[in-house]
Chains A and B, each alone.
Chain A
Amino acid sequence: MNKQIEVTEENQVVKDRAKQAYKEGFVTDIESFTIPPGLDEETIKLISSKKDEPAWLLDYRLDAFRQWQKMDTPEWAKLKIPAIDFQAISYYSSPNANNENAPKSLDEVDPKLIETYDKLGVPLHERERLAGVAVDVVFDSVSVGTTFKAELKKVGVIFSSFSEAVQDHPELVKKYLGSVVPARDNYFAALNAAVFSDGSFVYIPKGVRCPMELSTYFRINAINTGQFERTLIVAEDDSYVSYLEGCTAPMRDENQLHAAVVELVAMDNAKIKYSTVQNWYPGDEEGNGGIYNFVTKRGNCQGKNSKISWTQVETGSAITWKYPSCILRGDNSSGEFYSVALTNNHQQADTGTKMIHLGKNTKSTVISKGISVGKSQNAYRGLVRVAKKADHARNFTQCDSLLIGKSCAAHTFPYTESANMTAQLEHEATTSKISEDQLNYCLQRGITEEDAISLIVDGFCKEVFKELPMEFAVEAKALLDISLEGAIG
């Protein structure tokens, strides 16, 4: 009974939320320190010195930069990527005009920022109501605050901005930085390794079940600025953490670049659940503006019986290029990827996953739901690779595409490579349209066309939504409803 009531409330939230357009599209008028556009070794030295970084980290950055200069933009994706002028972007912008080091306490955060996050619905106060979620907020290039740090510290969990982690726990950062996504991994990962400015760091000690959801909220505010954040999560033996990330940006006519790297490490029996609701500004109806989202996310199931689960709901960005992956190194380890990617208007998405089976009895599950509306292009790209020694590896992949309207397209590119005869790989794929019959059926029962579409889409995504934590599931549904606007008529 209670569950039913929750569902009603949830619907109300979804409805209220859905009435708004891209409500995150406002600009915060705040004094900031932004370095001039341009990228060379001096830029990198400047970023590093702003952050008082140790020499080894500057060397890491410079090495990555030199690699990057030798690399080319990847062109294999089903995306039309306009040439990006990397010299026209500013690589560092901080809202702390006077004090360049992020404030140590939430009390010191500029009230304008608190207001910004209030408007976005992100709690910077440690209010009772939201006591279940600790948040690190990244505004342009810096983390402006992390909640519940003290409480988490009691159980040994480290949750801080990346910059702070570099100062306070250099040994951990040094050990794991680049251990899952090497600096030279790909063009955008190399760029990130060279210029990353902030992000979140999470360390869960052995045997600890993180007592609350951890979350990072990324916000791009400054004009002509790219955001290059880095997230590193390490879960020691027998630990558990659930981590959420959300992202928004103002509506601007220019495109903005977001190139992030996320690395996860799970030791023996550790479980990491990583959920994303990506709502970067998608551009307007004509395809002007929007974020270019080039992200490398990868988890290393290092230990036996470890598990990494990626859940993503992608509705934003003009271009999405993103393949959260799992390296299943430990025996009996498992990886999961649950994804809803919705594209509308002129948005393009090429997203999917890689499941690399190295250990014995490793298992992976891939559920991908692509929804294309308007003139958008939506591609699933996945790789399942089973190494020679990965006896009895199993994979199940299901990718479903839903088309709404006549001018959009869905594409599926599943790749499998198996070097072991004992592997069991299953793949299912469907493409469907919201049928006239389904719509008519709903209409005949009294449901309006708009509600009918959202009902049908919601049903289509159910398998993924149920993987999201409650608050995020509500937000995700609301986002889909907003993104579906103009899907009919």
Chain B
Amino acid sequence: MLKIENVFANAGDKEILKGLSLEVKPGEVHAIMGPNGAGKSTLGNLLAGMPYVQPQGGSVQYMGKDLLSLEPEERAAIGVFLAFQYPVEIPGVNNMYFLRTALNAQRKYRGEDAMDSAQFLRMVKQKIKDMNMRDDLLKRPVNVGFSGGEKKRNEVFQMGVLEPKLAILDETDSGLDIDALKIVADGVNQLRSADRSFIIITHYQRLLDYIEPDFVHVLADGKIVKSGDKNLALELEEQGYGWLNN
């Protein structure tokens, strides 16, 4: 599904990713951990095509396509979703309207018919119920006046509606209390399927108690320096990242 080979990338003038490689197969959940400033968020932003990250070399193949050559909205339409670390507010635009605009833009790109509002409404109502979130989320303007936790929940809800093939969660767990963390994790677990993959960027092992990863990678100084299974996350929790440098 996703094959990142020897990728270099800058954020601003600074070289952040320095020869990173990673392969993600359909249905797999990969956790990316690592110290601050290692390039975890840069990786997510690179895959989503955010303009503040400039690729400098290497290649990213996604479902047989050269991902880095596509515009961000094209990547979204072919199933790449990024749950932002800091979701932005869009005043006056209600969440439901925003989501339908997004979903129909993606469908249009894929040559599918637009979903009419009755269908859409039924679908989102069901999703919000399944994901244990509150109805008023739909009517409120996108992220305006949301608490930190609500913003993160909204990201996961949007993911549920847009049904991406590759979902990247950028520190979606940070700033969440334990109840919110469970809701977010439940949302992700419900979406797990044989053809949907996840890259979960996190600082903390605790999220991985709820979302069990197939692989855990340590990203340090722009590269994956160690990979393992979920036990690696436990080791990191105990010992920190320092020992990896030796």
Contacts and interface: CB of A to CB of B under 8 A. Distances in A.
Interface stretch (B91-99, B197-205, B215-223, B226-234): B91-99
B116 A445 contact: no
A456 B93 contact: yes
Contacts of B102: 442, 445-447
A441 interface: yes
Given A5-B117, A445-B158, A455 B73 contact: no
Q: Is the interface of A mostly helix, strand, loop or mixed?
A: helix
B73 A460 contact: no
B83 to A, nearest CB: 10
Interface in B66-81: 71-73, 76-77, 81
Contacts of B73: 443-444, 446-449
A5 B119 CA distance: 10
B87 A441 contact: yes
B101 A447 contact: yes
A8 B92 contact: no
B101 A459 contact: no
A444 B72 contact: yes
Given A444-B72, A444-B76, A446-B162, A451 B101 contact: yes
Contacts of A435: 88
B117 A446 contact: no
Contacts of B103: 446
Nearest to A435: B88
Contact of A445 (B71, B118, B162): B162
Given A443-B76, A446-B73, A459-B93, A5 B98 contact: no
A88 to B, nearest CB: 44
A7 B50 CA distance: 31
Contact of B93 (A7, A8, A455): A455
B210 interface: no
A66 B72 CA distance: 64
A455 B90 contact: yes
Contact of B118 (A4, A438, A443, A447): A4
B27 interface: no
Interface in B20-34: none
Contacts of B101: 447, 451, 455
A442 B158 CA distance: 12
B76 A1 contact: no
Interface residues of B, number: 38
Given A446-B105, A448-B105, A8 B116 contact: yes
A4 B81 CA distance: 26
B88 A437 contact: yes
A438 B90 contact: yes
A433 to B, nearest CB: 13
A437 B106 CA distance: 20
Contact of B90 (A1, A5, A446, A456): A456
A4 B91 contact: no
Nearest to A5: B117
Contacts of A442: 90, 102
A440 B50 CA distance: 7
A456 B143 CA distance: 13
B48 interface: yes
Of A1, A5, A440, most B-chain CB atoms within 10 Å: A440
A126 interface: no
The CB with the most chain A CB atoms within 10 A, among B77, B87, B98, B121, is that of B98
Contacts of B141: 459
Which residue, of B77, B86, B88, B158, has the highest number of chain A Cβ atoms within 10 A?
A: B88
A288 to B, nearest CB: 34
A440 B51 contact: yes
A112 interface: no
B117 A460 contact: no
Interface string A386-414: 00000000000000000000000000000
Given A8-B116, A440-B51, A446 B77 contact: yes
Contacts of A441: 84, 87-88, 90
Nearest to A441: B88
Contacts of B117: 1, 4-5, 7-8
18 contacts: A4-B118, A7-B97, A438-B89, A444-B50, A444-B76, A444-B84, A445-B102, A445-B105, A446-B106, A448-B105, A451-B101, A451-B105, A455-B93, A459-B90, A460-B91, A462-B91, A462-B93, A463-B92
Given A436-B51, A442-B102, A449-B73, 5 more contacts: A5-B116, A444-B73, A447-B101, A456-B90, A462-B93
